[in-house]
Chain A
Amino acid sequence: MSEIICRDLTLGYENSILVQGLSFDIHSGDYLCIVGENGAGKSTLMKTILHLQKPISGDITYGDGLVPSEIGYLPQQTVVQKDFPASVWEVILSGRQSRLGKRPFYSHADKKEAMSNMERLGIADLKGRCYRELSGGQQQRVLLARALSATSRMILLDEPVSGLDPMATLEMYQIIQKLNKEGITVVMISHDIFSSVRYASHILHIGEEVFYGTVEEYADSSIGKRYLESGGMSEKCDHEDGDRGIEHSSERSLQGNAEDENGKA
């Protein structure tokens, strides 16, 4: 049962093509990590899967009765959120917005679902707290609970552990693993190749060379071996927080530029 089928995708922006000839399937219950150098098109791919951006060519089809709004998305944090007066409860409840339809307010069922997701991630005690005053790990859990409120099938995570301390990172990976074992399909962009290989079932490596397959196949492939050997190195380069800050503050168009530049560099 394929939930998402990508065929011969070409991704990028008007003047620059980032990825070509991308074909892969995401099956129900998979844990897919998307890895690759900065600017290789990982975020672009994720936006394309979410229908936030159109592919230059190729098709993305949803199978198994999945609709785009049923995908729970955990985007990277934005600068706006750092100063936003919102309670944890308000943030998590907003995950139900795709279920609002034409109703102006959230129903009792929406609230129940949001509450059960809080309990599932062990953050029920944070309910009334202010989002901006939480630690990085707690904030990510809140956003994950929001993503879960939107879906019971698939979550897309854009670098969920960036900026977290080692303890919080480990906890985050364990939570995601637990959710995957409960039957939720996980698609994650990751800079952390070692954790990807450790937790994921499939790897999609994009860049000049494209690889898609199971973790075992990846570890045996030439590209996988090379990347795993140098993984520790490029890891460090990728974690410049200043760089990331610019990406957050800029809107769609600017982010496009930033990616273009990275791609050329």
Chain B
Amino acid sequence: MEKLELYFSYPFVRYAFIVGVLIALCSSLLGVTLVLKRFSYIGDGLSHVAFGAIAIASVLGVTDNMLLVLPATVVCAVLLLNTGGQAKIKGDATIAMISVGSLAIGYLLMNVFSTSSNLSGDVCSTLFGSTSLLTLTLTDVVLSIVLSVAVVTLFILFYNRIFAVTFDESFARASGTAVNAYNLLIAVIIAVVIVLGMNLVGSLLVSALIIFPALSAMRMFKSFLSVTVCSAVLSVVCATVGMLTSIIWGTPVGSTIVAVDIMAFLLFLAAGKMRR
């Protein structure tokens, strides 16, 4: 407890904590859509792209990673989604190619042009998240808050359309809903969420932040609204518990949060089975 008090006496830790909670909230919102539209793998692919972009940014000596990583990831999200249907190389193969490619190139670049003395430490924290929330810079914090608010606002404004497009694309199309535009919106939001989430849990673990709360909520709840609300609440709770645990025991933030998410999933799985 003393340790917690000590930590929270720094304003910076408090900010980081708020950012963590906001990220957890945004990442859970689109989880259901992602899982049901079979877009989960796009999320996974994008996180690897973001890793490559970070490597390039650090090689170029860009002071703030996010400014380069965010646009790069958004562009890739749009490309992946658009090639999904018609391209010669089928969607999942393209994603595998791009994601593994950016991982390899990213590591290669970091290795060849490294300016840091602790290369493996750098790589490890990009992949699995910072060892402590304290490594967030002030720009990261501000940008995260702005983006999180934007994501939540967009989600609420387009909630009904996102539901329609997820549940039945052909019906939505026939009703004159601009399905492609909404798919694009979904992809862009996913890209933003992934870049945000990487700060918290790292690029390899960020998909977990998106998918686990939704999967857990789907075990227990039966309407789109209740699943969405439940996964948002669950995600925030898990992130909070994970962050506190990581402060107390000094465990890495990202993997601790994901571990809590997994435990919650198992709990919901059991509860869902019992209900039947």
A residues adjacent to B (C-beta < 8 A): 50-52, 68-69, 71, 73, 75, 78, 80-81, 83-87, 89-91, 94-95, 97-98, 100, 104-106, 128-130, 133, 146-147, 150, 156, 251-253
Q: How large is the interface on B (under 10, 10 to 19, 20 to 34, 35 or more residues)?
A: 20 to 34
Which among B157, B167, B168, B176 has the greatest number of chain A C-beta atoms within 10 A?
A: B168
CA distance A84 to B177 in the complex (A): 20
Known: A73-B175, A90-B225, A94-B172. 4 other contacts (CB 8 A): A80-B167, A85-B227, A97-B160, A128-B223
Inter-chain contact B221/A85, CB cutoff 8 Å: yes
B169 contacts across to A, CB distance below 8 A: 78
Q: Which residue of A lies closest to B214 (CB)?
A: A85
Distance of A91 from chain B, by nearest CB (Å)? 7
B223 contacts across to A, CB distance below 8 A: 85-87, 89-90, 128, 130
Inter-chain contact A52/B160, CB cutoff 8 Å: no
CA distance A91 to B225 in the complex (A): 12
- Choice from A52, A80, A85, A156 contacting B173 with Cβ under 8 Å: A52
B164 contacts across to A, CB distance below 8 A: 94, 97
Inter-chain contact A97/B167, CB cutoff 8 Å: no
Which among B159, B161, B224, B227 has the greatest number of chain A C-beta atoms within 10 A?
A: B224
**B32 interface hit (Cβ, 8 Å):** yes
Inter-chain contact A80/B85, CB cutoff 8 Å: no
A80 contacts across to B, CB distance below 8 A: 36-38, 166-167
B161 contacts across to A, CB distance below 8 A: 97, 100
Interface mask (B200-229 → A, CB under 8 Å = 1, otherwise 0): 000000000000000000100111111100
Inter-chain contact B167/A84, CB cutoff 8 Å: yes
CA distance A85 to B171 in the complex (A): 17
| Main SS class of interface, B | helix
A253 contacts across to B, CB distance below 8 A: 85-86
Q: Which residue of A lies closest to B220 (CB)?
A: A85
**B113 interface hit (Cβ, 8 Å):** no
Which residues of B from 150 to 199 have beta carbons under 8 Å from A? 156-161, 163-164, 166-177
CB pairs A–B below 8 angstroms (26 shown):
A51-B174, A52-B173, A52-B174, A68-B176, A69-B176, A73-B175, A75-B168, A75-B171, A78-B168, A78-B169, A80-B37, A84-B167, A84-B224, A85-B222, A86-B163, A87-B222, A90-B163, A90-B223, A91-B167, A95-B171, A95-B175, A100-B161, A104-B157, A156-B174, A252-B85, A253-B86
B224 contacts across to A, CB distance below 8 A: 84-87, 90
A156 contacts across to B, CB distance below 8 A: 174
B residues adjacent to A (C-beta < 8 A): 32, 36-38, 85-86, 156-161, 163-164, 166-177, 218, 221-227
Distance of A254 from chain B, by nearest CB (Å)? 9
CA distance A81 to B170 in the complex (A): 12
Q: Which residue of B lies closest to A156 (CB)?
A: B174
Inter-chain contact B174/A85, CB cutoff 8 Å: no
Inter-chain contact A94/B167, CB cutoff 8 Å: yes
B176 contacts across to A, CB distance below 8 A: 68-69, 98
CA distance A147 to B218 in the complex (A): 26
Q: Which residue of A lies closest to B222 (CB)?
A: A130
Inter-chain contact B159/A104, CB cutoff 8 Å: yes
CA distance A73 to B177 in the complex (A): 13
Which among B36, B167, B174, B226 has the greatest number of chain A C-beta atoms within 10 A?
A: B174
Inter-chain contact A85/B218, CB cutoff 8 Å: yes
